[in-house]
Amino acid sequence: MGCINVDSLPVDQRIKDILKNRGIQRLNPPQSEAVEKGLLEDKPLLIVSPTASGKTLMAELGMVSHLLNKGGKAVYVTPLRALTNEKYATFKDWEQLGLKVAMTSGDYDTDDYWLKDYDIIVATYEKLDSLWRHNSSWLKEVDYFVLDEFHYMNDTERGPVVESVAVRAKRRGIVLALSATIGNYDKVAKWLKADVVATNWRPVPLKEGVLYTSNKKKDFIVLYKDGSSKKVYGECPIVAYTLDTVSRDGQVLVFRSSRKYAESTAVKISQYMSLVKLDNKKLHEVAQKVKEVEDAGSNEKESLYNLILKGVAYHHAGLSKGLRDIIEGAFRERIIKVIVATPTLAAGVNLPARAVVIGDIHRFNRKVIGFTEYIPVMEYKQMSGRAGRPGFDEYGESVVIVRSKSEVEKITQKYLNSDVEPLESKLGSESAFYSFILSIISSEQGVTEKTLSSYVQDTLLPKELAKKYYKQAISWLMSNDFIGQKDDYLVLTRFGRRISDLYLNPFTAVTIKDALLKSEKGCEIAYFHLLAYTPDGPLVSVSKAEEDVILDELDCELFIEEPYDEFELSNYLSSLKVAFIMRDWIEEVDEDTILGRYGIGSGDLRAITDTMDWLTYSGYHVASVLGLEEHEKILEKLHLRVKDGVKEELIPLIRVSGIGRVRARLLYSHSIKTPEEILMNPEKVKQLLGPKLGEKIVREAARAIT
């Protein structure tokens, strides 16, 4: 079909003006098809089109035209906080039309009543699910749902909540689901009661290939899907192909299967970057920013500083947000030429490159020790889809590295010439399904079994399996005091209501409840270990050497007994390592020392402390609703200490906004120990913290007291 001119769109002129200010004069083919299929008339749609094909703009047009014509509220849902921030910044344009845009994520124990004044709300799937459980009155006005990155429904961990949100969204309003990769889109669209816009159109054509070693040691051949080929030369295939692209003014994303491989590959590539032209002045400026980041470890900063000077960086979840932001920004500005990343980057923020190198088509399966498996086709499509920068490249290239020519045909057929896996329900586990049932009962504030059964039938689970799990779920939730019956309705008990509001996995709640009910108060390690051992706890890897050390250092009795099962033991040891990390953290052990001692990154430490902050908060509320006062007091204090990592005497100071572990300890060491003492010694505070910051802290102390 043809491309629609912006001027001919049947929308408010102000919408056209905003599009033109962005440089958009015509809609591209998939955008035009979406309009033809009713995007501007509130028709439910499933849009499946490649990365950078303009799906976000389709969502904007759908939301804004609906709000201007019909009123109500629109929610744009994403699977990642980073995407939430990105979309929020994009949607701020529409405030020119008088629409108010807000963003919310995290903090699951709140109804976010303040959102009643906003028209477009950007949230994560988990946050929207949590808000429904809290039954905030403004949610009744939401009648337009954009479900972004909808293929996340295939993810074992995130999929259940994506499906749960989709089930309720299609019952409550108009659904616009977006994805780059869904194989069975006809079936999924029928399930969503939506029409389909499915296209392979890309703004920058993609050239896919497989790279293998020729008969000559330092010659490597790329055989493309279209039958063409080319040679690159160098010490190893990844380095050879990367340097070939960078030497032609391109940027490269290299994907490796592990953090260790990502870091070592980045170092290897950097050793050859003197062969290409770089903007050394700008690279030095970026590297200097890395050194000044506050939320990262010294070793990480030093490592990245040296790499960035050579135009290279690595990127994975172990890095702090501050470091990741700098690396992503410098890559977008074309200063950094190469990022070596783990596959999580492919599913995250928009970061296109001229070329993508997929260094590993196998990965370890953690559930089967010593076993590797092929990555899913969907994961390949997500990574290769990053190739090609609109406005810079005539075409993008993606290459898969294989060991020998004998693998080329097999990998070509498996990845380059096949469709992605079908989207299937991930509610087929007790944990996921029971959480879904609890969520529905909570958000509907009492439902009959018939109504609840209709929600279950609305999932993508096979009907017989859904019936089986439904009966099990009702029985289990009743026997564990989450739900009860009142007349013909299923209702939450006091315990069930609190667990639902806290957004806890029901199995986490039962694990905590059972342990606390049968035990006297324990040591700090015991509480941290219990919380980390639950299904909601953070996971860390434990080497054999670490296993011996942490078991030797354990000097108190735990709530959980050491299991005999190999996989349960692995979880037990992971939880124990988390407990030791958290004890060091709240004892104010230096961050660099913690990172080095436990072999984790600053991003890992942030993720662990964030999760344990939520779990200690949840733990003390579980103890409270059970009337276990001793456990409640201990868990509340641990919660207050976890967020900033402080000893107990600093709790009063960290209640002041802007004061963390370092500033609190500085003030305390100079005999300023409470918010009141901050107010009584303003000049001393300014002297210790600097005039501007000191003045701000004094103001915040006044707020903390009132």
- Report phi then psi at 24, rounded to 5: -100, 115
Q: Which residues contact 467 (CB under 8 A, 6 or more apart)?
A: 456
Nearest to 315 by CA among 246, 370, 263, 279: 263
- Report phi then psi at 71, rounded to 5: 80, -155
99 close to 64: Cβ distance less than 8 angstroms: yes
SS3 370: coil
Query: What is the Cα–Cα distance from 324 to 330, expressed in whole angstroms?
Result: 10
579 close to 529: Cβ distance less than 8 angstroms: yes
591 close to 602: Cβ distance less than 8 angstroms: yes
Radius of gyration of the chain (CA): 27
Q: What H or E segment, with its residue span, contains residue 610?
A: helix 602-625
Name 179's bridge partners: 48
Name 363's bridge partners: 373
112 close to 489: Cβ distance less than 8 angstroms: no
Query: What is the Cα–Cα distance from 388 to 42, expressed in whole angstroms?
Result: 32
681 close to 672: Cβ distance less than 8 angstroms: yes
SS3 3: coil
Q: Two tokens at 207?
A: 């050239």
74 close to 144: Cβ distance less than 8 angstroms: yes
Nearest to 493 by CA among 424, 452, 438: 438
CA 11 to the chain's CA centroid: 34
DSSP letters for 235-291: SSHHHHHHHHHHTTT--EEEE-SSHHHHHHHHHHHHTTGGGS---HHHHHHHHHHHH
DSSP letters for 320-337: -HHHHHHHHHHHHTT-S-
CA 15 to the chain's CA centroid: 31
Asked whether residue 251 is marked as a ligand-binding residue, the answer is no
Nearest to 62 by CA among 82, 35, 87: 35
Binding residues for ATP: 31
Annotated binding residues, as ranges? 31
